[in-house]
Amino acid sequence: MKDLIEKAAEMLTLGYTDHEIVRILRIPPSTADSFILQAEQWNDTTFVPYTESDLDDMADYFGA
């Protein structure tokens, strides 16, 4: 189930709609709302660290 939520969260970030995700992943309609909510929460809590080039770009931009 966790893998399915991660896949749906990734699809949300790529621009897929809720309806498309439910159809592609074949999620039962009875659980679709809670499933999409969990995927959205996954995206909200997932930490993506900055890369070295991101940090260099920020330092250049802010003059540090």
Instruction: For 15-57, write each residue's pLDDT tens digit.
Output: 999 999 999 999 988 899 999 999 999 888 866 677 888 888 8
pLDDT in the model for residue 64: 59
Angle at which helix 32-45 crosses helix 18-25, to 10 degrees, equals 110
Distance CA 43, CA 26 (A): 20
State if pTM tops 0.95. no
- What number of helices (H) and strands (E) belong to the chain? 4, 0
Query: Phi first, then psi: what are they for 46, rounded to 5°?
Result: -80, 125
pLDDT in the model for residue 62: 86
